[in-house]
Amino acid sequence: MNALAAGSQGFLARFEGLRDRLPGDPALRAAAAAAFRANGLPGPRDEAWKYTSLRPLAEASFHEPLVPLADCAALLARLPAIEAPRAVFVDGRFRADLSAAPPGVVLDHFAASPDFPGLARPQRDSLVALNTMLAEDGAIVTVPAGVDGGTLMLASLATDTPGRAVAFHPRHVIRLGAGARLTLIEVSVGEGSYLHNPVTEILIAEDAVLTHVRLQDEAARSFHLATLYAEIAARGTYDSFSLTLGARMARSEVHARLAGPGAATHLNAAQLLSGVQHADFTTVVRHDAPGCASRQTVKNVLAGRSRGVFQGRIEVARIAQKTDGYQMNQALLLSPDAEIDCKPELEIFADDVKCSHGATVGELDPAQIFYLRSRGVPEAQARAMLVRAFLESALDAVSHVQARAALDHAVTLWWERQAA
Amino acid sequence: MGALLQIAGLTAGIDGREILTGIDLDVPAGEVHAVMGPNGSGKSTLSYVLAGREDYAVTGGSVRFGGADLLAMAPEERAAAGLFLAFQYPVELPGVGNANFLRTALNAIRRARGEPELDAVNFLKLARAETKRLSMPDDMLKRNVNVGFSGGEKKRNEVLQMALLRPRLAILDETDSGLDIDALKIVADGVNAQRGPEFAALVITHYQRLLDYIVPDRVHVLIGGRIVRSGGPELAHELEASGYAGLAEAA
Amino acid sequence: MRDENQLHAAVVELVAMDDATIKYSTVQNWYPGDAEGRGGIYNFVTKRGACRGARSKISWTQVETGSAITWKYPSCILQGEGSVGEFYSVAVTTNRQQADTGTKMIHIGANTRSTIVSKGISAGRSNNTYRGLVKILPKAAGARNHTQCDSLLIGDQCGAHTVPYIESRNATAKVEHEATTSKIAEDQLFYCRSRGLSQEDAVNMIVNGFCKEVLKELPMEFAVEAQKLLAVSLEGSVG
């Protein structure tokens, strides 16, 4: 048995022990378990996992989280100062005592009201099968039609129990009714060694707008493997930005389907890595209706021996005429030992489309550094300015003022850690 | 104390090729000197070596600036000491706002000189006054550094930086190239406004045209990597009439 | 009944030593099968090049208009210091044709450079794919790559796909990739036609313009042939 297959066994055993107590449709759980048993963890022969090996995950072993009302004051203090109600999850479990909903927004949780909207594809995506098999809790957020739900922070805190790495597989569902609006700020922080494997399903009805800002600042020894599905109806918008800073191994996979005419999505991201970190941002945007627009700006800043991966596919169905698809991905290598792998793909079946992608890989421009230095800016500060400038075109897409400030602050802290 | 800038026996090159073959040149405080020469004579090399570009290697000689060893200083230390190079081809800095850039540079230099830093409000007041004096639109401060600037705007932006950073020695590297006559006058006015006992300039140019507007105290002719002749402002006119050919033979 | 397809499976290997230059040009127009995709050649070709010597250069130019199915990825292994790899490609598919072509540029030596220009034109019910790899290994300091991949779709029953892989393990290397997909703009067609060109001539002119960067790499007599071939291949695909 190879390492990946062996790594699957622990999760399957956990399912057998837990299956009678899991909320929701048992048939769905059993089907997901069958898919996970058949496919196992994805390996190097899976094209979608060409650049990200799950061997380190397979070689680790995970326990179920303990359920105490752990004291997480230190972790709560690490959440960005954004004035908004929070839905707080500790080791994957909903903490009603720490949570509240914005006015007009219905906040429920998966353990109490299990919900499988059917966007996720456990048959195709193994980590989603793993999640579907083992999910115990998650946020179920509903913004009724016409309601502006303001801002909600979705916080995932992982506590440290030394010697006992835990795995949790939250299942989140975000639903916006017709014309509804919400800004969702998702923050993941933690301590110690753990696996955070969330699946998020997002349904955006006609004319609704979801702004989704994600800040992944997990513990240095953790695994963060997130899969997100969004379906956007006519004239709806899914506008997202993901900042990846943490975890020894991270993958953020996004499947956005533009299902109705005039729908739009922005999948912007930045990954700032150092040490031996590995982070993978993988997206599939499916244009399934005419007149839709997708925009992506993805930046990687790689220090130390880190490795950044970007895979982005734009699919345009035959019906999706007048598609406007744009994707830009840029990587900055700050160290001789860093590595970047990108695969920006276009798959187009309609003729009246405007699709483009661009990719650049390089280091900081010595002429720019010299120019700044010749104006009196010390070299370290010049480099910091240029890295910040490099990130600007991605960060600029974040219009929520407090979220933008929180991201800027996180970038500054990251840079200070590198300089130290 | 001697001249503000003292260059003695300077030899330098790039990629193993010697371009400056022995420069001797003094620029006292309060004076404007012009360095003229044909293409390939080493004019830009001289300006880059003085500003400290690392791909140029100094192979011999010395440069003293305000009494200190200029060649031992990092580019930012040279800037803090009061040396300013107006680039022939200013680089673009996408994502870096011009105002932020100028304030960062100004405060870095003020810090190095032990002066208090300027806050955003006072900085903007100062910057707006200077942009106005240089007939630059206000939005030039909001745009990214040199990105999408026309050739003339880039040069004016260099002069704006010079006005704000108040150097003791400004080196203008072919600042006249690509400028129409109106832009040329604005740039010249910007330089002339700085003139005084505490300001010196080294105006590097191929043509005499710029020197009609920035009248130099001394003119030096650079050919084959060294100064072959020096004289008063009339030398520029002489070159305009007879070209560099005769001097090249003399060299 | 018998099988109407034929297989063409060639292997071409190029080796360039110090200061050597190899320019390899292909115009491929095998039988593509009929309008319904019956018959035609399966053109599965292995082409690779090794730039072993310092400053050596291998330049692949190809115009692919024929064959039912083409799979072809001429590569350059850029080992010699300062060696250069180029790939210029035009692939036209109509009816039921499939072309899946591209290149691999493996940068091993310092200061190696590569240029990729790929122009794909799909019409009818065909599928046209660019698939390529640019790989920068740790010792390839100062390596440069520029890739331009453009796809043109004619009609709404065809497909155009771009699958580039970019892998860099050297900070001083610079890789740039651009890809666009578009159709012939109505205003371009209108402009040509208002100057008296027929619809078909206008399309030919625009397609030739679209491919110009590649066609100019061909030897003169080849280029003339290739231009005519593009026109013949696209005959009748514009309604």
Domain count, chain B: 1
Query: What pLDDT digit, counting tens, does each position of C45-95 carry?
Result: 999 999 999 999 999 999 999 999 999 999 999 999 999 999 999 999 999
* Residue pair A313/A283 in contact by the 8 Å Cβ criterion: yes
CB atoms within 10 A of CB A334: 19
Q: Which two tokens stand for residue A253?
A: 């996979």
Residue of chain A minimizing CA distance to C141: A336
The predicted structure's pLDDT at residue B1: 56
Residue C239 clears pLDDT 80, i.e. is over it: no
Residue of chain B minimizing CA distance to A392: B95
Residue among B92, B86, B25 nearest B229 (CA): B25
The predicted structure's pLDDT at residue A120: 96
**B165 neighbourhood in chain A, CB within 8 Å:** 375-376
Are there at least 3 beta-carbon pairs closer than 8 Å between C and B?
no
Within 13 Å, how many C-alpha atoms sit on residue C177's CB side? 31
CA distance A331 to chain C (A): 10
C180 in reach of chain A (CB within 8 A): yes
Are C164 and A363 an interchain contact pair (Cβ–Cβ within 8 Å)? no
CB atoms within 10 A of CB A348: 27
**B161 neighbourhood in chain A, CB within 8 Å:** 375
Query: What pLDDT digit, counting tens, does each position of B110-165 carry?
Result: 888 888 989 989 999 999 988 888 878 878 888 888 888 888 888 888 888 899 88
Are B76 and A376 an interchain contact pair (Cβ–Cβ within 8 Å)? yes
CA gap A415, B44 in Å, rounded: 35
Comparing A267-281, A295-309, C171-185, which segment has the lowest mean pLDDT? C171-185
A335 in reach of chain C (CB within 8 A): yes
The predicted structure's pLDDT at residue C1: 47
Are A335 and C151 an interchain contact pair (Cβ–Cβ within 8 Å)? no
Higher model confidence: residue C169 or residue B97? C169
Q: Which two tokens stand for residue C94?
A: 């109509």
Cα angle A369-A372-A377, degrees, rounded to a multiple of 5: 115
b (16+ CB within 10 A) / e for C92-130: bbbbbbbbbbbbbbbbbbbbbbbbbbbbbbbbbbbbbbb
**B96 neighbourhood in chain A, CB within 8 Å:** 385-386, 388-389, 392
Residue of chain B minimizing CA distance to A385: B96
Find residue A94's DSSP bridge partners: A89
Q: Confidence class of residue A243 from pLDDT cuts 50, 70 and 90?
A: very high
Minimum-distance CB partner of A343 among C164, C169, C183 = C164
Q: What is the mean pLDDT of residues A190-210?
A: 97
CA gap C200, C204 in Å, rounded: 6
In order, the DSSP letters of A61-89 are --BPPP-S----HHHHHTS----S-EEEE
C227 in reach of chain A (CB within 8 A): no
Residue of chain B minimizing CA distance to A395: B95
**A389 neighbourhood in chain B, CB within 8 Å:** 93-96, 144
Are B76 and A378 an interchain contact pair (Cβ–Cβ within 8 Å)? yes
CA gap C76, C73 in Å, rounded: 10
CA distance A414 to chain B (A): 19
* Residue pair A206/A172 in contact by the 8 Å Cβ criterion: no
Residue of chain A minimizing CA distance to B162: A375
Residue A418 clears pLDDT 90, i.e. is over it: no
Range of the domain at B203: 5-250
- How far from chain centre, in Å, is Cα B248? 25
pTM, entire model:
0.86
In order, the DSSP letters of C112-162 are -EEEEEEEEEEETT-EEEEEEEEEE-TT-TT-EEEEEEEEEEESSS-EEEE
Per DSSP, the three-state class of A55 is: helix
Per DSSP, the three-state class of C34 is: coil
Minimum-distance CB partner of C174 among A318, A334, A362 = A362
CA gap C19, A179 in Å, rounded: 66
**A345 neighbourhood in chain C, CB within 8 Å:** 161-164
| Chain B touching partners, 3 or more CB pairs below 8 A | A
**C179 neighbourhood in chain A, CB within 8 Å:** 344, 346, 356-358
| Chain C touching partners, 3 or more CB pairs below 8 A | A
CA gap B235, B246 in Å, rounded: 13
Residue B199: DSSP 8-state: B
Are A352 and C158 an interchain contact pair (Cβ–Cβ within 8 Å)? no
Residue C2 clears pLDDT 50, i.e. is over it: yes
Residue among B217, B246, B241 nearest B230 (CA): B217
CA distance A366 to chain B (A): 9
Are A344 and C177 an interchain contact pair (Cβ–Cβ within 8 Å)? yes
The predicted structure's pLDDT at residue B99: 87
The predicted structure's pLDDT at residue A1: 52
Q: What is the mean pLDDT of residues A268-287?
A: 97
First-to-last C-alpha distance (Å) of chain A = 44
Tell me the C-alpha to C-alpha distance, in Å, between residue A75 and each of A56, A271, C67: 26, 22, 62
What crossing angle do the helices spanning B120-133 and B151-165 adopt, rounded to 10°?
130
In order, the DSSP letters of A210-238 are EEEEEEEE--TT-EEEEEEEEEE-TT-EE
Residue B30 clears pLDDT 80, i.e. is over it: yes
**A331 neighbourhood in chain C, CB within 8 Å:** 168
- How far from chain centre, in Å, is Cα A132? 17
CATH of the domain at B43: 3.40.50.300
Strand B5-14, strand B56-65: pairing: antiparallel
CA distance B244 to chain A (A): 32
CA gap A236, C229 in Å, rounded: 46
**C161 neighbourhood in chain A, CB within 8 Å:** 345-348
**A341 neighbourhood in chain C, CB within 8 Å:** 165-168
Query: What pLDDT digit, counting tens, does each position of C33-48 carry?
Result: 988 888 899 999 999 9
Please, which residues have CB within 8 angstroms of residue A139's CB and are 6 or more apart in sequence?
Answer: A87, A89, A94, A107, A108, A109, A110, A154, A170, A172, A173, A174
Residue A54 clears pLDDT 70, i.e. is over it: yes
Per DSSP, the three-state class of B245 is: helix
Query: What pLDDT digit, counting tens, does each position of A387-411 carry?
Result: 999 998 899 999 999 999 999 999 9
Q: Which two tokens stand for residue C171?
A: 């900070």
Q: Confidence class of residue A344 from pLDDT cuts 50, 70 and 90?
A: very high
Residue B108 clears pLDDT 90, i.e. is over it: no
Please, which residues have CB within 8 angstroms of residue A366's CB and are 6 or more apart in sequence?
Answer: B54, B55
